[in-house]
Amino acid sequence: MDDRLFKAIGQPLERKEDERLLTGQGRFTDDFSLPGQLWAVMVRSPHPHARIVAIDASEALALPGVRAVYTGADCARDGLKPINHSPVPSTQFDLKLTGRGGTPVFVGPHRLLPADRVRHVGEALAMVVAETREQAAAGADAVMVDYEALPWVADTAAAAEPGAPRVWDDLPDNVLVDATFGDIAATDAAFAAAAHVVTMKTHIARVTGVPLEPRAALGHYDAATGRYTLYAGSGGAVRQKREVADVLGVDAKTIRVLSYDVGGNFGTRNRLYVEFGLVLWASRQLGLPVKFRAERSESFLTDYQGRDLVTEVSLAIDQDGKFLALRADNLSNVGACCVSLSPLSKGSGLITGSYDIPVATLRARAVFSNTMCTQAYRSSGRPEVTFAIERLVDKAAREIGIDRIELRRRNLVRADQFPYLNAVGSSYDSGEYEINMDRALQLGDWPGIAQRRAEALARGKLLGVGFANYVESSIGTPKERADVIVHARTIEVVIGTQPSGQGHETSFAQVTADLMGLPFDCVFITIGDTDIVSAGGGTHSGRSLRHASTVIALGVQDLIEKGRRLAAHVWRVAAAEVGYEAGRFSGPGATLGWFELAAHAGDPTLPEDLRGGLKVRRDNEMHTPVFPNGACICDVEIDPETGGIEITRYATVDDVGRCINPLIVHGQTHGGIAQGVGQALWEQCFVDPHSGQPLMGSLMDYGMPRFDNLPAFTNEIAEVLSPTNPFGVKAGGEGGTTGALAVVMSAIEDALVNEYGPLDISMPATPAKIWTAIQQVKAAAPAAA
């Protein structure tokens, strides 16, 4: 890859998407309507676990405008299949999760509507379709369901205990995954010989993505053509098409999925929702389009949720502060059925974090519970394990008496160790961890801590500085396809990724423009319509730019070859005599640019394989993961009188590999930080332990990051190219979140430890929790002399 060709790549170009989004011309799912459309509203279980004894829809059906009420029995009768979420990660480099004793993982069938049992509060068990949304809602209120409440379990650790109420009768207990990785004997030996052993147990609680656009779907079956059309924003229209076809038992060719502008994803949209299949099926039953739109409270209840990991980690350290071994026991709560094991899997590969720890053992388990299903959420699995290792290192530093930065420095993976194979088999591609750590310390003014602390104290505040390194991984669906088409005056690239704000229309155009020696302005990216996008992996796990840039690069190579043969035909010379450089084809005494050349593509004398336009279709498959990494540092100020906490400074250094558009990457970092900080300080999907009821059901209860509780950020991009793909791209979408949980809790500890000792404050570290923890120390302290 010749950097000198880069005119657009690396530039902070303004986005092509913005014009329409800024002027109200965005095309989000609810913006679409079809003539005659009916509305669907779901009937949802109020119980965490119950048998469905009977459903009486007679009252609902008698209400004005109500056209139908569907139940699980109707779905079963029509042979609708459960959604095949393929939850067990299966790329070459994912850790192989299995059931106990190496058995296949039982995932729990995810039916569109269950016929026998509901397994979480909010599970849909019936759908009412009516002429207006209000009528459908009134109908849903009128559906009488006779439930037999069953014993339930919501808490992650409790769900894994023998004797816990079983979510699925198919398993002897709720543990669907139980696999151990690493070298047990060597780990045990290292622990036995260690000078110090530090242990930590924590529960990283559940949060939810809260994309601003509530999920929605508009389904239309056209009897005349036998085709289904589904408008539904998602993380990948191609995948949704395939899964919906499977559920309905129809040929995928009969389905068209349209996912244009998507109002935030973060993982919540990367799996099919029952409503998306149901509206298509209902449309076929009723002969009219059927539309569904979730209320925000419905989204809180039934969007696929994130995190929820109980982890116990131990670190064995020698007398010089060198890490010898790590032990981890990770228990992931998948909810009522298993939609994705990505959080457990991705996290498992990174338990040793940024440090050179020669041996490790991990026990990875997943457990069912009577809660909403969980799925990958922004940096799936990595913020959790980063929190575990970084907080453990903080603890070790304190207990051993070594400065927490120095302890890190002694153990960071060194630049000369790359590619670095960690103790659980992840091969980190490249990195300059120590350089980035030092740069972050500089950006965060580490040397100025004492002065800032004193100044804050004068204002009655306790200041703390947090620090964390992080390394995360980007694997993602291995296959991607690009169509590169030369039109009369523009280049069109059709690609199977699915942006929800990451700026693909811009960054992919930058890549294409430079590869083809053309201006950025003439390249356009097409996504989201499966009648045009024939294949592709969607967007998740930071895969998009890496896969897209690679397949586009390969496609452009093919296109250049095709162009040379076309030019050879035009000039009646051998292809070998046609040169290509920087967007121009040259032959004896003549040159042609792309568009001029494309004008010849209609020539009837062209050989077969050159007809039909100057375009190529290219597929690519890449399995090798990349490892974005970095460091973060933040200041917090705590008012000990109220527990009130403010983040006053936050800086990061992020190695994203090659940065195509720094404006976009910084934006991703900002948003990623906000989501991590949100989990550290305010967000939690809290379930009442006595009733099993989710209590954070609206924006009134769920604490979102806002304008006035986040600081401005200072961010730097480090470009340490990855050797795994032509552009050296890693990923830039998830680093911001990965270190955030650790760095914020580290700062809180630093603020309070001198005065109160190490406090056990769980996330979210709300003011009430901070204050209460302080009071407990005060109460236990001996009276002042």
- Rounded Cα distance, 350 and 423, in Å: 9
From residue 729 to residue 768, what is the string marking binding to another protein with x (rule CB under 8 A)? Answer: -------x-----------------------------xxx
Q: How far is the CB of 35 from another protein (least distance, A)?
A: 13
Q: How far apart are CA 479 and CA 623, in angstroms?
A: 8
Buried b (16+ CB within 10 A) or exposed e, 366-392: bbbbbbbbbbbbbbbbbbbbbbbbbbb
Alpha helices, H only, 576-713: 594-598, 662-681
CA 380/CA 235 separation, integer angstroms:
15
Site for another protein in 139-178 (CB under 8 A): 141
| Least distance CB 307 / another protein (angstroms) | 16
Q: Binder to another protein among 182, 466, 501, 735 (CB under 8 A)?
A: 501
Q: Which residues within the stretch 683-712 sit at the binding site for another protein (CB under 8 A)?
A: 686, 695, 698-710, 712
Q: Lay out the sheet containing 584-587: strands in order across.
A: 579-581, 584-587, 590-593
β-pairing, 523-526 vs 491-495, is parallel
Site string for another protein, 189-228 (x = CB under 8 A): --------------------xxxxxx--------------
Beta strands in 209-266 (DSSP E): 216-222, 227-231, 255-258
Figure out which of the listed residues 445, 619, 639, 719 binds another protein, where binding follows CB under 8 A.
639
Q: From CA 86, how far away is CA 110, in angstroms rounded? A: 11
Q: Which of 534, 470, 508 is nearest to 727 (CA)?
A: 508
Q: Would you count residue 401 as binding another protein (CB under 8 A)? A: no
Separation of alpha carbons 632 and 775, rounded Å: 30
Please state whether the peptide bond connecting residue 764 to the residue before it is cis, i.e. omega within 30 degrees of 0: yes
**Region 242-271 residues binding another protein, contact defined as CB under 8 A:** 261-266
Amino acid identity at 559 = L
For the bound state, the minimum distance from the C-beta of residue 24 to another protein, rounded and expressed in Å, comes to: 2
265 versus 311: smaller Cβ distance to another protein: 265
Asked if 490 is part of the footprint of another protein (rule: CB under 8 A), the reply reads: no
Please, which residue, 575 or 710, has the CB nearer to another protein? 710
Closer of 411 and 539 to another protein (Cβ): 539
CB of 55 to another protein, least distance (A): 21
Shortest spacing between CB 699 and another protein, in angstroms: 4
Q: Nearer to another protein by C-beta: 349 or 764? A: 764
Q: In terms of Cα–Cα distance, which of 480, 479, 475, 453 is closest to 464?
A: 453
- For another protein, give the closer residue by CB, 661 or 722: 661
Residue 134 or 170 having the CB closest to another protein: 134
Establish if 33 lies at the interface with another protein (CB under 8 A).
yes
Q: Is 163 left (phi over 0), alpha (psi -120 to 50) or beta?
A: left
Amino acid letter, 692: G
Nearest approach in angstroms of CB 212 to another protein is 4
Return the residues of window 293-332 that contact another protein according to CB under 8 A. Answer: 295-297
**Among 417, 534, 772, 776, which residue sits at the site for another protein (rule: CB under 8 A)?**
772
Q: Which of 369, 502, 544, 549 binds another protein (CB under 8 A)?
A: 502
- Segment 640 to 659, residues that bind another protein, using CB under 8 A: 641-646
Number of residues interacting with another protein: please give it, by CB under 8 A. 84
Provide the mask over 660-679, with x wherever binding to another protein is found by CB under 8 A and - wherever it is not.
---xx-xxx-xxxxxx----
Question: Under 8 Å CB-to-CB from 702, ≥6 apart: which residues?
Answer: 208, 210, 300, 682, 683, 684, 685, 696
Question: Taking a C-beta distance cutoff of 8 angstroms, is the pair 530, 683 a contact?
Answer: no
Q: Which is nearer to another protein, 112 or 647 (by Cβ)?
A: 647
